Amino acid sequence: MSERPSSSTPRGDGGPSWPLPGPALSRIALTLALVATGLILVFTVGTNRDEEPNAEGAAPPPQPTSRSRPQPTVPAQATPAPVDRPSQSDEDELDEWSRKIEHATGIPARAAAAYGRAEMWLRGDRPECHLSWSTLAAIGQVESRHGAAGGEPGIGVDGVPATPIIGPPLDGSRGRAQVRDTDRGEVDGDATWDRAVGPMRFLPAQWQRWGKRATGDGRAADPQDIDDAALTAARLLCAEDRDLATAKGWWKAVGGFRGPVTSGGADEYAGRIADQAEVYAGQASG
């Protein structure tokens, strides 16, 4: 009786190891090839999707995970600023209010007073807009940390940052939007490309159209002045008869403020402002 061929490598259990038949080896090889092909397709599709450029030619930023907003909503209204009294001084009342806001939220009192004053004025001029100071404060935080981007000590008593805040040129590099000069350098000092300026970071064309002096001293509006910047932002947000108490009005106003030239687009920008405005509203009422 003939002996079966044995493998030169012993099995783990001490028994003989038999060579696999040809068909079995073929099936195993085919299975491994299919698995490898599937993995290659998965990694290839995932890589291509992550590298799709956005409208500005840069890879899209990571999506925010702090908040899911399938249907846009309006941030909660913050505790209102004092009532505007055109016929008498309300400076003391505004100063007291701004100090309370600083204690509750960390917003410097000087900046809080500018946001509160802008709400007070728009409450009289455009009551149907329903603008809250917390929306202005959220923009100020996202854009310049309430003027701290101009260096220490931030916004001074005169309402101006220690160093003028002028953003990088919007020349299309490093993921930035491309916006050629619109003001001949009069607002931003750059006659080739536009730059965002001031604690609220206005584009020159926005400032030239909406810029407003907050004090009646006869001087020109200054985008570096927090009072002028806050009032101008309020006017821009309330333009076109917008009602910021509605989701449609709020998101259109805030998304159009600087969203078109940010890497994530208008909705992503408005979402960041909404999140911050909610935080400030909660802190101020707490």
pLDDT digits (tens, 9 = 90+) for 44-74: 434 333 333 333 333 333 444 445 455 689 9
Residue 116 CA to residue 99 CA, distance in Å, equals 11
Q: What's the pTM value of the predicted model, to 2 decimals? A: 0.75
Mean of per-residue pLDDT scores for the chain: 82
% of the chain surpassing 70 pLDDT: 74
How much is the average pLDDT of 206-231?
Answer: 96
pLDDT tens string 76-120: 999 999 998 877 788 999 999 999 999 999 999 999 999 999 999
Q: What is the pLDDT of residue 261?
A: 81
Output DSSP code: residue 186.
T
pLDDT value at residue 48: 38
Q: How confident is the model at residue 16, as a pLDDT?
A: 43
The CB density around residue 235, as the number of other CB atoms within 10 Å, is: 20
Contacts of 270 (CB under 8 A, 6+ apart): 72, 250, 251, 254, 255, 259
Q: φ and ψ at 171, to 5 degrees?
A: -110, 10
Specify the higher pLDDT residue, 160 or 60: 160
Beta-carbon count within 10 A of 177 CB: 18
Q: Give 257-285 pLDDT, tens digit per residue.
A: 986 687 788 999 999 999 999 999 999 99
Residue 217, sorted as left (phi over 0), alpha (psi -120 to 50) or beta, turns out to be alpha
For residue 5, what pLDDT is reported?
40
Residue 252 near residue 242 (C-beta atoms within 8 A):
yes
Neighbours of 156 (CB within 10 A): 13
Nearest by Cα to 260 from 203, 191, 181: 203
Judged by DSSP in three states, 213 sits in coil
Q: 67: how many CB neighbours lie within 10 A of its CB?
A: 10
pLDDT of residue 276: 98
Burial of 255 (0-12, 13-18, 19+ CB in 10 A): buried
Kindly give the residue spans of alpha helices, DSSP state H, lying in 145-264. Answer: 204-210, 226-237, 247-258
Give the pLDDT score at 51.
34
Contact between residue 226 and residue 111 where contact means Cβ atoms under 8 Å apart: yes
pLDDT: which is higher, 235 or 23: 235
Query: What pLDDT does 199 receive?
Result: 98
Instruction: State the pLDDT at residue 194.
Output: 97
